Amino acid sequence: MSMNVTTNVYRNFINGEWQESKSAEQITVINPADTSTPVGRIQSSTAADLEAAVEAADAARKEWRSLSGAARGDFLYRAAAILEERAEEIAETATKEMGKTLPEARGETQRGIAILKFYAGEGMRKTGDVIPSTDASAFMYTTRVPLGVVGVIAPWNFPVAIPIWKMAPALVYGNTVVFKPASETAITAIKIIECFEAAGFPKGVINLVTGAGSVIGKGLAEHPKVQGITFTGSNNVGKGIGLTALERGAKYQLEMGGKNPVIIAADADIEQAVDATISGAFRSTGQKCTATSRVIVEASIYDAFREKLIEKTKDITIGNSLEQEVWLGPIASEAQLQNCLHYIQTGIEEGAKLILGGEQLTDGDYEKGFYVQPTIFEDVTTDMVIAQEEIFGPVIALIKVDSEEQAIDVANDVKFGLSASIFTKNIGRFLQFAEEMEAGLIRVNAESAGVELQAPFGGMKQSSSHSREQGEAAKEFFTSIKTVFVKG
C-alpha cells in the first residue's frame, strides 16, 4: 500500500514499488475547507528519486511498446474497472485536497473512468495509411510509433481527469510514463496510480514522483531520456518547460491559461444565459482554465441580465461539501486565496465597480478555510488588469457593448485564446462568432467551461503550444509518424 496508516505518509511509485524518497523531507497536504485537519503527507523528492523513475520507465519502454495496441488497451480497461470500484474514495480525497464540491469531484472521477475506456478502445484503431508510390513495384505506408518516456506534469484543479487524459493516451500508444502531480492534490494522484498498480501494469511502465516543481518538474523537462513532456498549468512555468524541452529537442505540449469570455447577444435567452454564466464562472470556485471570466453583454439587455445575475448569484451556498450540501467550496490554497483577493483589490483600485461579493469569509464555519464570496464587477474597461489577466477564482467582469461586432473585438482583446461562448438565437451571429473568435474551444448557448472527452481540447495564442489533447487528436502528440518504403 502507498500509505503508512500510523503516520499517514504517502510514498512514490517507482518501478512497480512504493518507495520513500531518498530525502527525509515531506510535504503536508492540507484541506482548504478546514486547515486544522491535514489530509496527509507526501514525499519531497530529490533529483535522485526522479532519476530512478526515469531509468525505470526507460528500461520498460521496449517491452511495453512491443505489445499490441489491443493488449495495452486491456490494461486500461482493467484500470477503469478498478477506478470505478474506488470512485467514491477518490472523489472524497479530491474534495479534501482541493475543495471542489463532492458532486463535482464525483463527476470528475466518472470522467476519468470514461477517458480510460475511450483510450482502451483506441488501442484497436489504425496507426497509419497506405500511400501510393510513383514506383509501381514499391509499397509505401506510414505507421505511428511511441515517443518513448513521457513526463506528465499535471495541475491541482482537476486532479483526476487531467492526469488520466494525459497518461491514458500516452500508455495506449506505447509510451512509458513518469508522472509528477501537483503537491496540493498528490494524494488523489497516488490513489489513481494505485488503480493502475492493481490493474497489473508491468514494472516501470507507470511511475509517480511527488515533490517541488523546481526539482521534479524542471528535472523532467531537462532529462535526456524523457522524449516528451505534457504539461498543464501556469503560463510562466509552461513557457519555461517549453524552452527547456526545445533546447534539447524533446517534444512538448503545453496547456496554460485562459481569460474566457461569454457574449450575451441582444436576442439571448436571459434565464439560460445567466444560469450558464454562473455555472461557468463559479463552479469549482472559478478554478478552471476554461472558467468564464469576462461577461460581454449587449447594451439593450444589460440591465435585465445584470439584475438576474446578481439575484441568482446571491442564492449560492458556500461551505465544506463533505459536511453539508453546498454549491461552492473553498479556494484550493492560501496562496491562491491571496492571489484572488489581490485581483479583487486591484479591480477596485482601477475603478471597476464592485457590485457583489469581493470579501473573504472568516466567521463561524468559514474560519478554518479559504473561502471567498462570488464576486461581480461592472464598469470594467478592456485595459484593466481584471479584464486581461487570469484570476483563477470566482470573479467575473461585466463589460457593456453596443454591438455584436464590438463584442467580438472585446472578446479577442486578450493574450489568451482557450475557450469562448455566445448566447444567441441567430444562426448568422453564432456562425460569425465561431469564425472570428480566436479560441480553441467555441461553445454556443452553453457555458465556456467543459469539453467532451472525445473532442480535441486546446487553446490559441498564449493559452497553449497549439497541440491538442483528448480524443483521437491526442495521438498527434504521443506518437511520431514513420514512413516505410518497400521495394519489390
Tell me, yes or no, whether 85 and 155 share the same domain.
yes
Residue 264 sits in the same domain as residue 252: no
Task: State residue 365's pLDDT score.
Answer: 87
Pair (423, 473) in one structural domain: no
Residues 6+ apart with CB under 8 A from 368: 33, 34, 35, 36
Q: In this structure, are residues 453 and 470 in contact, taking their beta carbons and an 8 Å threshold? A: yes
In the residue annotation, 359 being an active-site residue is answered as no
What domain range is 54 assigned to?
3-256+464-487
Q: What is the CA radius of gyration of the chain?
A: 23
Are 138 and 251 found together in one domain?
yes
User: Measured in Å, how far apart are the chain's first and last C-alpha atoms?
Assistant: 56
> Do 158 and 219 fall into the same domain?
yes
pLDDT under 70 in the chain at which residues? 1-7
Task: Please report whether residue 458 resides in a domain.
Answer: no
- In CATH, what number is assigned to the domain containing residue 313? 3.40.309.10
Report whether 322 contacts 91 (CB < 8 A): no
The pTM of the full predicted model, rounded to 2 decimals, is 0.96
Looking at 97, 184, 255, 447, which residue is catalytic? 255
* Backbone region of residue 319 per phi and psi (left: phi > 0; alpha: psi in -120 to 50; beta: other values): left
Residues 369 and 240 in one domain: no
239-260 per-residue burial string, b: 16 or more CB within 10 A, e: under 16: ebbbebbeeeebbbbbbbbbbb
Residue 386 lies in a domain: yes
For residue 459, being part of any structural domain is answered with no
Residue 270 shares a structural domain with residue 247: no
Residue 214: count of CB within 10 angstroms of its CB: 9
CA distance linking residue 189 with residue 231, whole number of Å: 15
pLDDT for position 421 = 98
CA angle 109, 114, 120 (to 5 degrees): 130
Same domain, 265 and 243: no
Q: What is the pLDDT of residues 53-70, one digit of tens each?
A: 999 999 999 999 999 999
What CATH number is associated with residue 93? Answer: 3.40.605.10
Inter-axis angle of helices 161-172 and 69-85, nearest 10 = 160
Query: Residue length, the chain?
Result: 488
C-alpha to C-alpha distance for 296 and 305, rounded to whole angstroms = 11
Same domain as 269, residue 251: no
Alpha-carbon span 324 to 338, nearest angstrom? 25
The span from the CA of 11 to the CA of 475, in Å, is 31
Is residue 334 a part of any domain in this protein?
yes
pLDDT number for residue 51:
98
Helix locations, 4-68, DSSP H: 47-66
Whether 457 maps to a domain, the answer reads no
Question: Does residue 417 share a domain with residue 330?
Answer: yes
Number of domains forming the structure of the chain: 2
Q: Grid coordinates in use for 70? A: 489491443
132 shares a domain with 107? yes
Same domain? 436 vs 346: yes
In a domain, 433, yes or no: yes
Give the whole-angstrom CA distance, residue 231 versus residue 238. 7
